[in-house]
C-alpha cells in the first residue's frame, strides 16, 4: 500500500488536471457557440445557392460551357485535408486522417503509386500526418485555422479552380468534419471539383424552372459557379472548426468526470492508508505499554 505522502501527491496532481480540463471545456464551449452561430448563418445561403446551381446545370442544353464541371481522365488528384492545429479533442483528428487515408488508398491508390496525389493540409495535425504518407504536400495554407475568414478561404478556392482549369490536377477532394452536435460529427471525403452534374438531367426538383438571365447567361454562370465553389469550401471549414470545438468540449467533459472518479478512488485509498497508519501506531503504543508493565 502506498504511503500517505504519495497518495496526497497524486490527489493534488489530479485536482490540478481537473481544473485544467474544466477550463478547457469552458473555453471550447464558448468558441463552439460562435462557430455554431456562423454555421447556422451560412447554411441557408449555401443550400439555396446549391439549388440554383443545380437548376442552372439541369437547364443547360449545351450552349453554356461550364469548365469547372468538365470530367476528364484523372491523372493528378488533390486532397484538401482539414484538421485542427491542436490535440486534446478525442478521436477528432484520427477520424479525419482515417477518412483521408481511406480515400487515398482506395479511390486514389493507382495515382498514389505513380506519385500523382497531392495533399493540401489545412491544419497542423494533418500536415504532420501527411508527411508520412508518401504523397506530395502543398503546405502553403497549413495555418489557415489560426485566422479563419472568407477572404482566406476564397483565395484557396481560387487556387484550386485555377489549378483545375490549368489541368494541374483533374480532381479535387475535401476531407472535413460535418458538424451535427457537440457529441456527433460526420467525417467525410467530398468531391469538390469537377462539379457534379449527376442526377440533374431532368431529375432535379427544380429542373423545369425557366430562368430569365440578366444581363446574360454566360456572365451569370461565370460568377455563380466560382462563388458556389468558394462558399462550399468555406462551409466545410466552418463545419470542421465547430466539430473540433464540439469534440474538444466533449473530450474535456469526459476527462473532468474521469478525474472526479479517480479522486474518489484516491481519497478512499488515502483514508485507508491513514487508518492503517493509525492502527499501526496504536498497536505499537499498546505493545510498548504491555512491555513496560511486564
Q: Which of 183, 190, 177 is nearest to 84 (CA)?
A: 177
> Which H or E run contains 153?
helix 150-165
Q: How far is CA 58 from CA 66, 202, 226, 243, in A?
A: 12, 6, 17, 33
* Through-space distance between the first and last CA atoms of the chain, rounded to whole angstroms: 33
CB neighbour list of residue 225: distance below 8 Å, 6 or more residues apart: 53, 66, 68, 69, 195
* Cβ neighbours of 147 (radius 10 Å): 7
CB 134 within 8 A of CB 116: no
Q: How far is CA 137 from CA 78, 113, 117, 142, in A?
A: 9, 15, 9, 10
CB neighbour list of residue 192: distance below 8 Å, 6 or more residues apart: 80, 160, 172, 173, 174, 229, 232, 233
Report how far residue 214's alpha carbon sits from residue 292's, in angstroms, rounded to the nearest whole number: 112
Q: Is 236 labeled as catalytic in the residue annotation? A: no
CA atoms within 13 A on the CB side of 138: 20
Q: Which one is catalytic: 32, 89, 221, 273?
A: 89
DSSP-derived letter for residue 121 is E
Report how far residue 176's alpha carbon sits from residue 121's, in angstroms, rounded to the nearest whole number: 11
CB 127 within 8 A of CB 139: yes
**Residue 79: φ, ψ to 5°:** -120, 115
- Give the residue numbers marked as catalytic: 89
Amino acid at each position: 500500500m502506498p504511503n500517505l505522502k504519495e497518495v496526497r501527491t497524486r490527489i493534488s496532481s489530479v485536482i490540478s488536471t481537473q481544473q485544467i480540463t474544466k477550463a478547457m471545456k469552458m473555453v471550447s464551449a464558448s468558441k463552439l457557440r460562435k462557430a455554431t452561430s456562423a454555421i447556422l448563418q451560412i447554411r441557408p445561403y449555401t443550400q439555396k445557392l446549391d439549388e440554383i446551381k443545380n437548376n442552372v446545370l439541369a437547364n443547360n442544353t449545351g450552349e453554356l460551357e461550364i469548365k469547372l464541371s468538365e470530367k476528364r481522365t484523372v491523372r493528378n488528384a488533390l486532397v484538401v485535408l482539414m484538421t485542427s492545429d491542436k490535440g486534446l479533442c478525442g478521436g477528432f483528428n484520427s477520424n479525419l486522417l482515417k477518412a483521408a487515408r481511406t480515400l487515398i488508398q482506395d479511390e486514389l491508390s493507382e495515382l498514389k503509386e505513380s506519385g500523382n496525389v497531392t495533399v493540401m493540409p489545412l491544419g497542423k495535425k494533418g500536415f504532420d500526418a501527411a508527411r508520412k504518407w508518401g504523397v506530395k504536400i502543398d503546405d502553403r495554407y497549413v495555418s489557415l485555422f489560426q485566422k479563419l475568414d472568407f477572404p482566406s478561404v476564397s483565395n484557396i478556392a481560387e487556387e484550386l479552380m485555377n489549378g483545375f482549369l490549368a489541368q494541374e490536377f483533374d480532381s479535387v477532394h475535401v476531407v472535413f468534419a460535418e458538424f451535427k452536435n457537440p457529441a456527433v460529427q460526420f467525417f467525410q471525403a467530398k468531391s469538390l471539383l469537377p462539379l457534379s452534374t449527376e442526377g440533374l438531367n431532368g431529375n432535379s426538383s427544380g429542373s423545369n424552372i425557366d430562368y430569365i438571365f440578366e444581363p446574360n447567361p454566360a456572365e451569370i454562370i461565370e460568377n455563380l459557379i466560382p462563388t458556389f465553389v468558394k462558399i462550399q469550401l468555406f462551409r466545410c471549414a466552418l463545419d470542421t472548426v465547430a466539430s473540433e470545438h464540439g469534440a474538444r468540449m466533449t473530450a474535456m467533459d469526459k476527462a473532468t468526470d474521469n478525474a472526479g472518479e479517480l479522486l474518489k478512488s484516491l481519497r478512499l485509498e488515502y483514508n485507508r492508508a491513514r487508518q492503517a497508519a493509525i492502527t499501526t501506531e496504536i498497536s505499537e503504543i499498546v505493545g510498548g505499554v504491555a512491555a513496560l508493565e511486564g
